[in-house]
Structure 1
Amino acid sequence: MQHTVSTKTLIKAGFAAIGVAIVALVTFILPAEYNVDPTGIGQALGLTSIAQASQSNGSATTAAGTGSDAFETITILVPAGKGVEYKFAMTKQSKMTYEWMTDGGELFYDLHGEPEGDTTGYFESYTIATNADVKGSFTAPFNGSHGWYWKNKTAKPVSIQLLVKGEYEVIGLKQ
C-alpha cells in the first residue's frame, strides 16, 4: 500500500515551516546575532547581551580595566529577599560604560561610590531606582570604590548579567 501526499498538504507544510522559521528568526536569531529585538523576548531571555558583547570585540569577556572596546560580562546572583553589593575601584574622572539586566523581575538598586580611605561610612548615591535592566555610563567623581547595591524583594533568586567596560579594577562582591 502506497501513500501519496497531496499538493495541498505539501503547501500547508511548507507554509508552516516558513512560519516557524520566521518566528525563530525574530525571537531568537535577530536578538542574539544582531541585537535587533522587535518583540522584546530576546532581552527577556538574555539574548541581546550576546550580540552586544560580540559586537564589542567578538568575545563575551575580556580582562578588566584594559580600556579596550570590549565589554566584560559578570554574572551576579541576588538571593530571594536579600541584597548584594558589587564594586569597582576607580580613580577620579575615570569612566565606565555599563549595562545590566535580570533574568527575572525588577530589583531595587543604588549605584553609589565610597571615597578612598574614608572610615566614616560615607557614600554618595548617583542613582536609586527599581528596574529589570539599565544601560548607561559613569564618570567617577572621586578616587574610591563605585558600584551597585541590588535588593531582591521577591521569593525567588534573581540573576544579573552585568556588562562593563572602561577604566576600573574589579573589587567584586562586597561582604
Structure 2
Amino acid sequence: MTLTLEWYDEREGSDEAKEAGWKELLERLLKLAGESEGVEAGVVSLTLTDDEGIRELNREHRGLDKPTDVLSFPMREPGADEPEIRYDDDYETVEEELDGDDGLEADGFDPFAEMLGDIVISVPRMHEQAEEYGHSADRELGFLFVHGFLHLLGYDHMTEEEEKTMIAKQEAVLSKAGLSR
C-alpha cells in the first residue's frame, strides 16, 4: 500500500505551462510528509479552485463568508478508532478486477486504502501569497499542501505551541523537498 494523491482542478483557464510540474511536486511532498508522520498508506484528495470556489466552501463549512488559502476536510476525527471493515460478496468481484498480485489496479490506485481526507487550495490566493512572501509559487503551493495534509492528520494551530509544532513539521518537509525559504 502507498499514499495516493487524487487530483481535481475546478478552475477555468489554468496555465498548464506554468503548472506542469505541480502534480509531481505534490506527490513527492505527500510521500515526504507521510514518511515524516509515519503514514504509509491512504488517499488524499486535492482540489484546486479559485477564490469564489473556496469562499463558498469556507462559508458552508466554517461560517466565514470570505475566501481563504487552504481548507482541509479530514475523513476521521482525531483519535477515532479505525472502524471494522466487513466485506460482502462485492469484495470478491472487486478483487477480481485488480490487475496485479499486490492488490493495486493498473494505475496504482488501491481501492481499499483509507481515505485520509480532502484538501482544497485557492490558486489565485496561493499566487498572491507567494508574491507577498517573496518566494516561488511552487514553494507556496507546497506549503499550503503540507499544511493541509497535517490538518488531515489532526494537527492544528489554535495555540502558539501547536502553531510552532505545525510550522516546524511543514518546514522540515519543505526543506527535504528543496523548497526552503
- Larger strand fraction of residues: 1
TM over 0.5: no
- Larger helix fraction of residues: 2
Q: TM-score, normalised by structure 2?
A: 0.23
Q: TM-score, normalised by structure 1?
A: 0.23
